Amino acid sequence: MNMSIEIDLAAPVMLIAVPQLGDPNFNRGVVLMLEHNEQGSMGLIINQPTHLNMGVFCASQGVPFTGKKSQSIHQGGPVQTDRAFILHISEHEGPETEAVTVGMRLSYSMESLRGLASNPPDLLRVYLGYAGWGPNQLAEEVTAGAWLLAPVNDHLVFNVSPEMMWETALSDLGIAPMQLVHSGAMH
């Protein structure tokens, strides 16, 4: 008997990994889930900065960047790490740009990168790669208790340091990190 469990994972939503998740890609991870449907789910891990910065990244793409060149590029997930996703709060309406929330947008084209790099908004993050789940996989993980769900929070995405994001996301839910029991890994 194959039973499907329905969980309301309407995107966008924040996923906060519990310590028992056991997948090193998501250790203390906070994910902005952008898409969830019967084909699967897709999101960006928003709290994993890399050693690569905006100046170096944009130069490697042949794109002049006029903003803070030392700003970190983030690892968005283990899938297609050669693909860039740009989260921003701006009026940018370029190609392959869509609304995530009322103010937040996601862009994922070279043309959008050029436009945003030439006049960067104050709130801009670039992620390489994404996190992906197959059909029903994420719902099963949520049901098993691997993830906590929270509303999307622009402040958390753009204004909280990556090192403090997991604790802040839990605190916003009224959970102290010490309340999460570190038991065996989930499979």
The CATH number for 145's domain is: 3.40.1740.10
Domain hosting 47: range is: 13-179
pLDDT at position 182, please?
56
Q: Is residue 48 part of a domain?
A: yes
Q: Are 73 and 96 in contact (CB under 8 A)?
A: no
pLDDT at position 66, please?
92
Rounded Cα–Cα distance for residues 34 and 140 (Å): 18
Q: Which residue has the tokens 């997991």?
A: 166
Q: 120-132: per-residue pLDDT in tens? A: 999 999 999 999 9
Strand partners, 128: 75, 84
Q: How far apart are the first and last CA of the chain?
A: 21
Q: 66-105: per-residue pLDDT in tens? A: 999 999 999 999 999 999 999 999 988 877 999 999 899 9
Rounded Cα–Cα distance for residues 31 and 79 (Å): 14
What average pLDDT does the chain have? 89
Q: Is residue 168 part of a domain?
A: yes
Q: Is residue 83 part of a domain?
A: yes
Q: 15-58: per-residue pLDDT in tens? A: 999 987 778 889 999 999 999 999 999 999 999 999 999 999 99
Number of structural domains in the chain: 1
Strand partners, 74: 49, 127
Q: Is residue 90 part of a domain?
A: yes
pLDDT at position 181, please?
60
pLDDT at position 4, please?
43
